[in-house]
Amino acid sequence: MKLSFRWYGDTDPVTLEQIRQIPGMQGIVTSLYDVPAGDVWPLDGILRLKTSVEDAGLELTVIESVPVHEDIKMGRSSRDRYIENYQNTLRNLARAGIDTVCYNFMPMFDWLRTSLEYRLPDGSTTLAYKDDEVDEEALLSGRLRLPAWNFSSQRDELMEMYRFYQNMTPEELWANLEYFARAVMPVAKECGQKMTIHPDDPPWPVVGIPRIIVDRASLDRLMSIYDDPSNGICFCSGSLGASAENDLPAMMRHFGRKGRIHFVHLRNVRRTDNKSFYESGHLSRDGSVDMYELMEAMHEAGVTVPVRPDHGRMVWGETGNPGYGLFDRAMGAAYLNGLWEAISKSGQEVRDAR
């Protein structure tokens, strides 16, 4: 396991120096946030980013994300141009020595929450989702404060896109994902890179908009489209764990033993109702995901890839980007590191006893 931490660049209130001081921390997960979706990432910009991370004594382990332009997801005629740009971005990342790239294929918006400041009994705040609070008005007005979309001046564009996706079937979205994968994965293989798809979050349709990367069957389907290790998975316990139908340890063993998990997000969620949840602390007892059991499955399957403590609570009066404070993610990293050490040593003792 290569313990890593999400960093949002020079504008992030969390500094690389602080991240380096977290016990066991090795890597940084980041992106070029000033490059518009669909543009080619310049090699010099990638190298500057990598150098800034390495100068802080850390390794740039994963690029999260290289966004997929909406025209690709929608299957528009312009998609070939954006796919070519994506291919050239992968080549530039390979030239810079970066071999793991995360992406998602969620239509219109990225991960979705209905509350960014859900208060827990201990006084901390966290991210939460209630499906019955999501409707057209909430979505289009910006009241939901979606993390990946600026609603202030794009309502007409958003409405057009919203209507388009409401009329798209899951199979049509699958066809667009397959078109993208068949074009991009061979380039990733050629460059020695590992593409990792992030599951949809939450893992079900939202206000009539299809979501298709939600469970073991859908991930198996995607892996079969281009059957090569370059076509891999970002295993996110929070996204997949929001659905009680997903058996996370079994999925970890299934895809891990196939060598298709190249990146892991470990966070916990507490399922509270049908299609409702909040993000708890990382501990197994705090959420609906048994983190020990999941990491044990990860160890058994030989998954030794970059792992980051995903979203955390906001604790001790910390302010900043909800879900991405320093304190709770650092505590989560320490907990995960401790679990991994205990599981690894326990496994060694069993082997020695044999």
pLDDT tens column, 289-347? 999 999 999 999 999 999 999 999 999 999 988 999 999 999 999 999 999 999 999 86
| Superfamily of the domain at 2-353 | Divalent-metal-dependent TIM barrel enzymes (3.20.20.150)
Q: Quick check: 152 pLDDT over 50?
A: no
DSSP letter at 314?
Answer: B
User: Token pair for residue 245?
Assistant: 């139908």
How would you classify the pairing of strands 115-119 and 125-130? antiparallel
Quickly state the pLDDT bin for 142 (edges 50, 70, 90). Answer: low
pLDDT digits (tens, 9 = 90+) for 170-224: 999 999 999 999 999 999 999 999 999 999 999 999 988 999 999 999 999 999 9
Which helix (H) or strand (E) segment holds residue 55: the answer is helix 43-55
If you compute the radius of gyration of the chain from its CA atoms, what whole number of angstroms results? 20
pLDDT digits (tens, 9 = 90+) for 262-286: 999 999 999 998 899 999 999 999 9
In DSSP notation, 134-154 reads: --HHHHHHTTT--TT---TT-
Domain boundaries, the chain: 2-353
Quickly state the pLDDT bin for 153 (edges 50, 70, 90). Answer: very low
Q: For the whole model, what pTM was predicted? A: 0.95
Report the pLDDT value the prediction gives residue 288, as an integer from 0 to 100. 97
pLDDT digits (tens, 9 = 90+) for 35-86: 999 999 999 999 999 999 999 999 999 999 999 999 999 999 999 999 999 9
DSSP letter at 110?
Answer: S
Query: Would you name the residues annotated as active-site residues?
Result: 198, 236, 265, 310-311, 324
Cα–Cα distance measured from residue 218 to residue 225, given in angstroms and rounded to the nearest whole number: 11
| Half-sphere exposure at residue 163, Cβ-oriented, CA atoms within 13 angstroms | 5
* Long-range contacts (CB closer than 8 Å, 24 or more residues apart) made by 10-16: 12/321, 12/324, 13/320, 13/321, 13/326, 14/320, 14/324, 14/325, 14/326, 16/52, 16/53, 16/56, 16/58
CA distance to 102, 127, 196, per residue, from 193 (Å): 11, 32, 10
Cα–Cα distance measured from residue 19 to residue 224, given in angstroms and rounded to the nearest whole number: 37
